[in-house]
Amino acid sequence: MTTTAKPGVLPACPHFSSGPTAKRPGFSLEKLETAVLGRSHRSGDAKKKLKAAIDRSKALLGIPDDYRVAIVPASDTGAVEMCMWSMLGAKPVDVFAWESFGQDWVTDATKQLKLPDCKTYGADYGALPDFTQARDDADIIFTWNGTTSGVRVPNADWIKPNPDRVVICDATSAAFAQDIEWAKLDVVTYSWQKCLGGEAAHGMLVLSPRAVARLESYTPDRALPKLFRMTKGGKLDEALFEGATINTPSMLCVEDFLQALDWCESLGGWKALEARSNESLGYLTDWVAKTDWVDFLCPDASVRSNTGVTFKIVDPRVAGLDEDGQRDFVKRMMKRLEKENACFDAAGYAKAPPGLRIWCGGSVEPSNVAALTPWLDWAFAEEAASL
């Protein structure tokens, strides 16, 4: 029986979680001493920090000048849901889902909001739905990059122009890593804990002029919690987009986010982070090509994510196990890797097919991804020997 030697070089950082993700290189808690702590988030100093987070995000991502950006509660999830609850019902709705969080938006639309003219389009993990089914007159909800499936949309060509509808895009694991076509989208949401390695619980909300028009012209026949309200007296609450958050943000997290933006800017902006993600994906692609026990969950390289990269174990000794057996095998691999400080939190998402998920967002050094692959081979061989 062939044995696999334990690798001699560990990844310098073993953090491959898909959220919260690895902190940026050079991060330290000491650098956060400049945070506005012990002050009201309504104070002048705190609002300057919040406004800087908004303005610099807009500039670094190339968001159009006439789009508005706000910091909102409850991470990306809160940002998506506040817009669904506030905007949907005026038009028919098409929801496209091919992974866990997209399915959450399907549940919201069909079982919670119970939208009367709502069509849903799905696909299995690792594939995309048929976007040509999108109706020209319907509002649209979709995920740009499937965080739990490892599949992303190649472009927004399928979205036909219609000034009377809104297109809601969950871009939480795409922002700062993929080329988002802002002009085709009316609501874009993301969170700090993905591609910038920020902390959780804060969401970013981007609204187009069409989205603002919908908020000001449509009043849904449903109760809206305070955290979802973006208008006052029928007009957009402009203060939200100037740093006056709906609820109290963590100024420590804000400072961390601002420094992550500093780091992104120092590298050359989001394109530089995309290049880092692509380099990491390249290492994994080369590894899969020469490895017989593993394959990508997404078979189509043209729509394969460069951030949350997902894998299935194809070795027949594992693939022949039932689902529980496969999940248990992955858990044993992860425990072995954690014990060696080689890799943390790289099991596939709980609702996804059993397998691995390696985060390759820009805060992960590509060299650490390259160093990880021999450890994955070793952990697999060690566990497979007992089957």
State the CATH number of the domain containing residue 290: 3.90.1150.10
* Final residue of a structural domain among 229, 250, 266: 266
In 3D, which of 385, 369, 384 has the Cα closest to residue 330? 384
Does 24 score more than 60 pLDDT? yes
* Final residue of a structural domain among 198, 231, 266: 266
Three-class SS state of 203: strand
Predicted local confidence at residue 187, as pLDDT:
98
Per the domain annotation, does 305 fall within a domain?
yes
Q: At 178, phi and psi to the nearest 5?
A: -140, 155
Looking at the structure of the chain, the number of domains it has is 2
Predicted local confidence at residue 3, as pLDDT:
77
Residue 341 shares a structural domain with residue 229: no
Predicted local confidence at residue 363, as pLDDT:
98
Mean residue pLDDT of the chain comes to 97
Residue 88 shares a structural domain with residue 219: yes
Residue 295 Cα distances to 41, 103, 316, 356, 383, angstroms: 48, 24, 12, 10, 18
25 burial class (0-12, 13-18, 19+ CB within 10 angstroms)?
A: middle
Per the domain annotation, does 24 fall within a domain?
no
Q: Dump pLDDT digits (tens) for 213-254.
A: 999 999 999 999 999 999 999 999 999 999 999 999 999 999
Helix 251-267 to helix 270-289 angle (10° resolution) is 80
Residue 231 shares a structural domain with residue 310: no
* Final residue of a structural domain among 233, 266, 299: 266
Residue type, 337: L
N- to C-terminal Cα separation, the chain: 13
Per the domain annotation, does 13 fall within a domain?
no
Its domain, for residue 362, covers: 269-385
Residue 199: give its domain's CATH number.
Answer: 3.40.640.10
Predicted local confidence at residue 2, as pLDDT:
61
Confidence of residue 366 (pLDDT cuts 50, 70, 90): very high
Residue 117 shares a structural domain with residue 241: yes
- What is the full DSSP assignment across 27-88? --GGGGGGS--SS-TTSHHHHHHHHHHHHHHHHHHT--TT-EEEEEESHHHHHHHHHHHHHT
Residue 191 shares a structural domain with residue 280: no
Per the domain annotation, does 326 fall within a domain?
yes
Residue 122 shares a structural domain with residue 217: yes
Residue 118 shares a structural domain with residue 225: yes
Per the domain annotation, does 157 fall within a domain?
yes
Residue 164 shares a structural domain with residue 290: no
Confidence of residue 32 (pLDDT cuts 50, 70, 90): very high
Per the domain annotation, does 6 fall within a domain?
no
Residue 149 shares a structural domain with residue 295: no
Q: Dump pLDDT digits (tens) for 128-187.
A: 999 999 999 999 999 999 999 999 999 999 999 999 999 999 999 999 999 999 999 999
Confidence of residue 115 (pLDDT cuts 50, 70, 90): very high
Predicted local confidence at residue 355, as pLDDT:
98
Does 287 score more than 90 pLDDT? yes
Residue 242 shares a structural domain with residue 102: yes
Residue 186 shares a structural domain with residue 254: yes
Residues 325 and 311: their CA atoms lie apart, in Å, by 16
Predicted TM-score (pTM) above 0.95:
yes
Structural Rg of the chain based on CA atoms: 21
Predicted local confidence at residue 259, as pLDDT:
98
Per the domain annotation, does 369 fall within a domain?
yes
Confidence of residue 302 (pLDDT cuts 50, 70, 90): very high
CB 321 within 8 A of CB 329: yes
Residue 261 shares a structural domain with residue 293: no
Q: Dump pLDDT digits (tens) for 56-95.
A: 999 999 999 999 999 999 999 999 999 999 999 999 999 9
Does 1 score more than 70 pLDDT? no
Residue 134 Cα distances to 92, 119, 152, 161, 355, angstroms: 11, 9, 17, 12, 31
Per the domain annotation, does 10 fall within a domain?
no
163 burial class (0-12, 13-18, 19+ CB within 10 angstroms)?
A: exposed
Q: Dump pLDDT digits (tens) for 175-217.
A: 999 999 999 999 999 999 999 999 999 999 999 999 999 999 9
